Amino acid sequence: MNLDILTILTLVPIITGLMLIILPQLLPKEMATNLKIITRNISMGIALAMFAIATMMFIGTIGNVEWTDILHGEYVLKNEQFSLISSIGVQWKVGADALSFPMIWLTSLLIPISMLVEWDAKRGHIFHPLILIMEGALLGVFVSLDLFIFYVFWELTLIPMFLLILLWGGEDRKYAAMKFFIYTFTASVFMLIGILVMYFHTTPIPGLGSMTGHHFDLVQMSLQDNLIPSEGLRHFVWILLLIGFATKMPSVPVHTWLPDAHVQAPTAGSMLLAGVMLKMGAYGFLRIAVTIFPESTIIFIPLLIFLGMASLVYGAWVCMGQTNLKRMVAYSSVSHMGLIFLGIATMQPLGIAGALFMMFAHGVISPLLFAVAGAFKHHYHTLEIGSMRGIAHHSPYLSGHMMLGWMASLGLPLMAGFVAEVAILIAFWMSFGWLVMLPALTLIITATYYLTSMQRTIFESNDPNQGILPDTLHGENPRDVTWHENTGMFILGIFTIIFGIFPFIFWDMMSVWSTQFMTDIMIDAMENVNVWSPSMDWISEVFK
Amino acid sequence: MNSLSDISLELLIPESIMIIGILTMILIPNLGDAKIRIPLTNTSVPVFIGGTRFTQVNNPFIPSIVAIITFTLSFFMSLIMLQGAKNGEIGQIMEVNQFTTLFSLIFTSALLMTSIATFYRMPPKQNPEIPQDKDTESSASAKIRILMNNRRQVDFYILLLMVGLGMCLMSKSTHLFLLFVCLELASLSSYVLVGFYKESDIGGEAGTKYFIVGSVASAIGIYGMSLLYLWNGNLQIDSLTSSWSTMENLDPFAGIGVGLMLVAFGFKVGAAPFHLATPDAYSGASSPIAGLLATASKAMGFVAIMKILLIITSPEEGVEAYWFIAIALISVITMTWGNFAALTSVNPKRMLAYSSVAHAGYMLAAIAAIGSGLGDYNSNVLIITALIFHLTILVLFKFGAFLVLTLLENEGLTHNMDGLKGLTRRDPVIAISMFIFMLSLAGIPPLSGFLSKLLMINGIVNVSAGTGSVSSATVLTWMTSVNVVFWLALSIVINSAISLFYYLRVGLLMFFEEPVVEGPLAKSIYLRITIIACAIFTLLLGIGPLSESLLEIANEAAQSLL
């Protein structure tokens, strides 16, 4: 079997991560001690190599792919057919397109940065390999084109994250880890039933599924006309899938695991959780639910708008009342994820491209926010917003990063988040008219809580030369960020600005893909069902 | 009539090996230098039985070694028979096919693991001292206890071999009478094995309770069988099947008879409401025996249930079996009760017992899906494949968990979760294996527990998802039109979510709490190898070529059952 590049990208981190954990148990004591010392360097080396491969794939050095030419339904860098459990139709099938590639690149970028930010983690000989395993599982979700493998990787991401929260988390970590695991696992077993119903409506393809006559191949499923004949069942399956994906995203009302998990998780865990794991929900929703059941998606547009709007408004509203920095950032993630649902609900190429870019931009910005929050926890031992003031005086670098991150997240122009927000709002206006006032006005709330928390933390001390330090320092001198935290945050900040000024780096492939996606799938579906459009005539009457 | 020479003994090699094992175990410890003097002469002829034992056979480890060798041999013989597809009938009461051979494999592997575990769990003392007159009362009684401990080795392993013999023959029998006799042989031996936990007071209590409830269940089963006999005049499974299929209306004798027999088998698998003795028996028995009850004994119950429900009273396509609603209800009650009870258990063995009750519920749900009569032959085979696959891999991860408890039991800490506390610090390899077992029990991919649960839900969804009306345009109309079987799949899903709580709690204890006892666990090298092998196979059978070949074997077995 010729190993293709995506398989290598997925399996190498998992295998090396496992080896780095297991090897010290088997080696003699002295060698094991030596190995433990250099474990983090090896992990970082592998993570950087993965990032280099992903970047070379992007430039075209590997695979020679022209990313802006990829239309919906085409997958590049595919592997040769290789069946894993052929009697029930499971095969190893990977591929990338414009929907998954930005996520793949983002994952491979965030892994070395999160390792760097927690370079000095306790028990680093387990910590860094666990993050490597996490990388493999996350990449596996984005590259797999077989629903069985997809589900396996989907659940596999839980285990390293569970252990990361459990072993390196805050005081209430047990509760948070259990809640995280049970919440998301429960949701994804509902998704599993949906997948199984789809599985039982597939027609056989030769050489696969000798025992059952069905297969898990996602590409074949999306090609099959009318996968599930019964319309009611189709909607039911769509809802089962939505339960799984919306919980991962997370959307109100199934978001409550997120703040707990974030507050207790170690910094690197939070960065990966917010940066990539939340995007798994949006990715899966677009890849499976919307692609295979476009008509159900159109029928349930009001539900999507309701969920998106509820997450957006409620998340932002709750943020204003938070006193814990990390909790606030976590709720702001909920709020931003709401925009993704709104972008999909517009059923405009611009809206879907905006949702895709939102996934990407939020994946760059939110790790920066969590790195800042983690640094506060690390150096000031507290996350209470009111307890420290005028930090800019003591930690100028940290304050600078905080300012950049906070500004990027509230949607300042020339930063990555702005592009996505504007695209989604324009598309929303095109589809639903004056209803756009609701999400647009929510951005004011966003600005309010970000600016308030920033002002109270890094400025606003009464003495120009002396900030107010929290009690948790016990009179120690406050420190600024360490070099590795500084570097990590700096890289993220740079990328935030780069993708704000030159969004077309990824925007082009996304917009080509989503335009094609609309014309291929959605236009047909829209002809079959009535598209919901809000009756907003009375507003236009008012404005006349 | 068949004479003994007609019976092809080569089909019964595993059982013959066990019988030889029992004989050896009785003979070897009794070998000695006894001689008999021929009358009227002075020449003495050695007879080897009795007298002073030879030093070689005086080793108290001999019974366990004999048991391990016997089970290993019959395991490999079953494996060879499975490979060579050696099938055939024996007399008119037994039949050997892929199904029975696979189950022999399951039983012998579970028993092999039990005997390896007890090798360390109840070690006899080499060269014990005999009490002297000058001993104080307490030291004399201590010495007597050691002597008794050595003596009971033979009893224990003979009972273990009896269990194996009963189980293997039971899976092969095609006559209800033989089936019941073999089942009772295995059951009665296992009641005594439960009571064998002599270090603790609750061992005897648990054994007695298990025995009383079990014999009541058996009595009810025999009553049911007598009703069946009254109805048909013959207990041959073939003849019962043909009478059942030609029966026009449900004969009350037949219906009640099958129902009563289900009580007996429901007790064996631990289905609610007949499961109440199960947690007491598991927590009272020593861990290897509890593991045996949770895997082999349960597989035995399921073989019996499959033979009764799926062969004799098998539903025709499109016709609901008369027991369908009852089994569906029992399955939902069983899994829910098991999971909720496990949530509150503080004894790890009780927790595993309730989790095994919950798993019985999942499997009964799969049987109910066949009973709905919605599926055709192929989908029924798929469901039975899932059942067989589940029962096979259960030996790996459920027994694996009990083996870990066996390691801990030497410290006397299995009646609460204390022994598991801080296990990662004391013994990371064992702790990680235990974590893998727990995740597999919860059904997390890519472990084998996930694949079996997936196949089971798969089978249920397969037969039921197509029943909803095709014309229904909204979710609600579809939900009202779909067959009730579909909701069994959802109840399995919700229950596995509940079960995560207590499986993960074990992980929390191992990773977090301060250890109650410091220092590494006992060495027990073979036990360790077995545990690690179980963990590795739990991983390997979840995905990849090995799981594929096991699936194929299970599929063949399922086809030969129907």
Instruction: Give the confidence band of B166 by pLDDT, cuts at 50, 70, 90.
Output: very high
Give the pLDDT of residue B370: 87
Torsion sign, CA atoms A157, A158, A159, A160:
positive
Residue B102 · residue B82 · CB < 8 Å: yes
User: If you average pLDDT over residues A431-437, what whole number do you get?
Assistant: 83
Residues of A with CB under 8 A from a CB of B: 25, 84-88, 90, 151-152, 155-156, 158-159, 162-163, 166-167, 174, 177-178, 181-182, 185-186, 189-190, 192-193, 196-197, 199-201, 211-213, 229-233, 235-236, 239
| Contact yes or no for B490 and A193 at CB 8 A | yes
Asked if the model's pLDDT at residue A109 lies above 90, the reply is yes
Q: Which helix (H) or strand (E) holds B89?
A: strand B88-90
Q: What pLDDT was estimated at residue B287?
A: 86
Q: Report yes or no: A275 and A363 within 8 Å, Cβ to Cβ.
A: yes
- Chain B closest CA to A163's CA: distance in Å? 9
Tens digits of residue pLDDT in B7-29: 677 788 888 899 999 998 888 87
Partner-chain residue, chosen from A85, A167, A200, that has the shortest CB–CB distance to B465: A200
Bridge partner residues of B89 (DSSP) = B95
User: Do B478 and A155 count as a contact with CB atoms less than 8 A apart?
Assistant: no
Min Cα–Cα distance to chain B from A535, Å:
23
* Residue A535, φ and ψ in degrees, nearest 5: -85, 105
Q: For residues B71 and B18, give the distance between their C-alpha atoms in angstroms, rounded to a whole number.
A: 7
Domain boundaries, chain B: 318-562
Determine the average pLDDT of the residues in A344-351. Answer: 88
Kind of pairing, strands B35-37 and B44-46? antiparallel
Read off the pLDDT band of B2 (50, 70, 90). low
* ipTM of this complex prediction, to 2 decimal places: 0.81
* A100-104, A133-137, A286-290, B25-29: range with lowest mean pLDDT: B25-29
Contact list in A for residue B552 (CB cut-off 8 A) is 87, 211
Choice between B133 and B381, residue whose per-residue pLDDT is larger? B381
Contact criterion met (CB below 8 Å) for B442 and B449: yes
pLDDT (average), residues A61-73: 79
Q: Are A77 and A4 in contact (CB under 8 A)?
A: yes
pLDDT band, residue B271 (cuts 50/70/90): confident
- What would the two tokens of residue B40 be? 């009227």
Q: Which of B382, B427, B461, B508 to probe the A interface (max A CBs under 10 A)?
A: B461
pLDDT in tens, A383-398: 888 788 878 878 888 8
The reply to whether residue A186 touches residue B382, judged by beta carbons under 8 angstroms, is no
Q: How does pLDDT run across B103-128, given as a tens digit for each residue? A: 999 999 999 999 888 887 777 777 77
Contact status, residue A134 vs residue A160, Cβ threshold 8 Å: yes
Average pLDDT over residues A133-153: 91
- Grade residue A361 by pLDDT with cuts at 50, 70 and 90: very high
Reported as a single tens digit per residue, the pLDDT across B49-92 is: 877 877 777 777 888 888 999 999 999 998 888 888 777 887 77
Cβ distance of A232 and B469 shorter than 8 Å = yes
The runs of H, that is alpha helices, within B233-323 are 237-246, 252-269, 278-284, 287-292, 298-305
Which H/E stretch holds residue A315? helix A301-320
Mean pLDDT of chain A: 86
What pLDDT band is residue B1 in, cutting at 50, 70 and 90? very low
Residues 335-394 on B with a CB inside 8 Å of A are: 378, 382, 385
Amino acid at B376: D
Residue A110 pLDDT exceeds 90:
yes
Chain B partners within 8 Å of A170 (Cβ): none
What does the CA dihedral A93, A97, A100, A105 come to, rounded to 10 degrees? 110
- At residue A495 the predicted structure's pLDDT band, cuts being 50, 70 and 90, is very high
d(CA B134, CA B110): 46
